[in-house]
Structure 1
C-alpha cells in the first residue's frame, strides 16, 4: 500500500450542489451503460463529480456524461481497455488528466463468457479473470495513492456466487475472487478510514440481456425475486449510493445482496 495519503480537505475538487457527495470525486468503471451508467447517474445526483469509464462505446459514454450535465451534475469520460497489460496504469493516467484525487471508486466493469466447465477454453477463462478480477485488483493497487482517507471502494459482484450456477462457471469464480479481495482490503485499509464493500445484483434488466425481450423469459426471471419482478439498474445504484455516502461509514467488508430476495426459498 502506498504511504501517500490525502484527506477530504484536499482542494481543487469540484462541488456540484449540496448532496451527500458534494465536493467529492468518483470513478465508475464500465459506466457507459447498464448498471454502471445508473451508478454514475446516482453518484452525480448526490453531488459527486463522476469519471465515466468506458472500454469501447464512446457514444454511450458521452450520452451518460450529457445526462449527468443536463441534470446539473459534473462528469467526464475516459477510455481504457481493461483486461490487457498495463490497463490499471492507463486508466489512472486518463483519470489524472481530469482530477487530482478520488473519493469513491466503483469497480463495475465486467464480462461474461462460456459457462459450463467443458465449454470454457483457457483463453476464455483468462479473459474473464483478467477483466473481472485482475483489473479491479490493480486498479485499486495503483489508485491507493490517489484515494483519499475516508474514501470508498465498492466492487460489483454477482448473485451467482451464492448458488450453484453451472451456466456461469468462470464468471462466478471471478466474482468470488472479487468478494475475497473486498474482505481482505476492508481489513487492510481500515486504518485510513476507507470502507471496502461489494454489491451483488441478481437478474437486472439491461441491454446485455437481450433475451428479456421474450415476455416468457422475462417472467421466468422475475420469478427469481420475492417481489416477482426483474431488477432495474437503479435498484443496484441506490445501494451503491448508500455505501458511497457518510451514512455507510460503519459498514465495511460486507457483500450486500441486491437481488430482490432471489433464492430465499431455495
Structure 2
C-alpha cells in the first residue's frame, strides 16, 4: 500500500493540479505517503467534499504531512497565480516549492468535422496553456533540484480516432517537457513527462470502448488496464532524489503497450 512507502520526500512541498479524483488524487496521496506536504488543486464545486476528504486522510498519516486545498481553474489565465497566492498565505513569503505535478487535463471525443473553436479552447487552454502558465508561476519559488512532472499520455504518439485535440495537446506537453529540461537543468532541476496507457479511472469512461479494448489486447503485461498506484509510484520516484539523472524524458507507463 502507498501508505507504507518510505519517507523519501519528507519535508518537501508538492503541488498537484487536478487532485480531486482519479490519477491526480492518487498521485497526491502517494506523494504524501512518502512524506511530502501537498497542495491539492481542483476546479469543480461538486469535488469539494472529495478533495477535503483526501486532505483529511493525508493529514491523518502518522508522519503528519500538511495538505492545502485550493479551488482554482488552471485553464484560466488567473488560476495558477491563485494557487500560489493560496500557498503564500498558508506558508508565508518564504514559499519554497520542490515538486510540481501538472496533472489536470480534459478531452473532447469528436471527429475533425465536428470540432469547434470552443472545443479547441477547452482542451488546449487546460492541457497546454495551463501547463505553461502553472509552471511559469511556480518557477520563482521552485527550489534547486526541483522536480517538474508533466502528465502526458500514450495518446501523444498515437492517432486515436476522434481524439485529435487530446492527442495533439499531449504531444505538445512532450515538446514542452524536453525544452524545459534544457532550460531548467542548470541547478539540478529535472523535467519529465509520464505517459500513462489506459488506467482504471473515471476519465477512461469517456474514451470510446473500442479504443480501450484495443489497448488492453495490445498490452503485453497481463492484457489489462493499469491501476492508479502503478502510475503514482512512477511519479513519486521522479519526484525524489533517486531520479536526479533522468530529465527531458517521456516515460511510457503502459504495461508495454507503448514502447519508446
User: For the structure 1 residues 102 and 239, does the alpha-carbon distance in structure 2 shift closer, same or farther, using more than 3 Å as the test?
Assistant: same
Higher mean alpha-carbon deviation, 239-248 vs 79-88, is at: 79-88
Report what 1:5 is aligned to. none
Secondary structure of the residue aligned to 1:40 is helix
Off by >3 Å, runs of 4+ in structure 1: 216-221
| Distance in 1 between residues matched to 2:211 and 2:155, nearest whole Å | 18
TM-score normalised by L of structure 2: 0.89
Match of 1:253 among 245, 248, 251: 248
The answer (yes or no) to whether the contact 1:106–1:156 under 8 Å persists in 2 is: yes
Secondary structure of the residue aligned to 1:98 is helix
How far does the alpha carbon of each residue in 1:165-214 deviate from its partner, in whole angstroms, 9 at most, with x for none? Answer: 122100111111111111000000011211000000000101223379x9
Q: Give the aligned CA root-mean-square deviation in angstroms.
A: 2.0
Q: CA deviation at 1:263?
A: 4.6
Please list, as runs of the form range in 1=range in 2, the aligned pairs for 1:52-63 lying within 5 A after superposition.
Answer: 52-56=40-44, 57-63=47-53
User: For the structure 1 residues 61 and 188, does the alpha-carbon distance in structure 2 shift closer, same or farther, using more than 3 Å as the test?
Assistant: same
How far does the alpha carbon of each residue in 1:140-187 deviate from its partner, in whole angstroms, 9 at most, with x for none? Answer: 111111111111000000001122112210011111111111100000
Higher mean alpha-carbon deviation, 230-239 vs 18-27, is at: 18-27
Report what 1:76 is aligned to. 68
User: For the structure 1 residues 121 and 161, does the alpha-carbon distance in structure 2 shift closer, same or farther, using more than 3 Å as the test?
Assistant: same
Please list, as runs of the form range in 1=range in 2, the aligned pairs for 1:239-250 lying within 5 A after superposition.
Answer: 239-250=234-245
The answer (yes or no) to whether the contact 2:160–2:211 under 8 Å persists in 1 is: no
Q: CA deviation at 1:221?
A: 4.8
Structure 2: 5+ residue runs without aligned partners? Answer: none
| Distance in 1 between residues matched to 2:186 and 2:16, nearest whole Å | 24
Report what 2:217 is aligned to. 223
Q: How many residues align?
A: 246
Report what 1:162 is aligned to. 157
TM-score normalised by L of structure 1: 0.87
Report what 1:8 is aligned to. none
Structure 1: 5+ residue runs without aligned partners? Answer: 1-16
